[in-house]
Chain A
């Protein structure tokens, strides 16, 4: 189920709608690819993108550091990732109503002079899109399956 989440950042109300899986997975791996090297010194455990790496556990630990990491990511990378992360974000802009941040004109309109707000909006999007995924919200395995598995 696609979920939405509202958050007030500064004096603006943001609404993030979660990306569908076909867009979320590629973005998640892109995020990991670009933030991984930045987070490596913080975590001391990110290496190359080994397919067997426990990415959820790694990113769960990394989440609090992402704000700091975003601020130090190559601006060119942020130019690519930022719009993708904000594509499903709306902001209620006084005097203009709901503004969708899926184009550069609207992003400039909202974030001009508000760089910190933009970073926090990106973090909000990361949380909405990937926090549960990162935390490994695993469903309980039915007792009958556990029993069958153990035997």
Chain B
């Protein structure tokens, strides 16, 4: 990833995971919102039983 885009990785991650839209990230979501969703996503990922969808 180009260095200038690295700070936006948490935002892109949510868009790629379809947990947020680019419009929401550009208008209504703060970095706190993005940060919390990423933390929740990590927790969910680490807790999800192996083999589950």
A residues adjacent to B (C-beta < 8 A): 1-3, 18-22, 24-26, 28-29, 51, 129-130, 132-133, 137-139, 141, 144-146, 148-149
Contacts and interface: CB of A to CB of B under 8 A. Distances in A.
A124 B22 CA distance: 27
Contacts of B8: 22, 25-26
A147 B49 CA distance: 11
B39 A138 contact: yes
Task: Tell me whether chain B's interface is mostly helix, strand or loop, or mixed.
Answer: helix
A1 B11 contact: no
Interface of B: 6-8, 10-11, 22, 25-36, 39-40, 43-44, 46-49
Contacts of B33: 1, 21
A95 B29 CA distance: 34
A21 B43 contact: no
Instruction: Give the most central of B8, B35, B36, B44: most A CB within 10 Å.
Output: B35
Which A-B residue pairs are the 9 nearest by beta carbons?
A145-B47, A24-B31, A29-B7, A149-B47, A148-B47, A21-B34, A25-B7, A141-B43, A132-B32
Contacts of A146: 47
A20 B27 contact: yes
Contacts of B6: 29, 51
Contacts of B7: 25-26, 28-29
A9 B51 CA distance: 56
A1 B28 CA distance: 6
B47 A139 contact: no
A63 B44 CA distance: 31
A3 B29 CA distance: 10
B26 A20 contact: yes
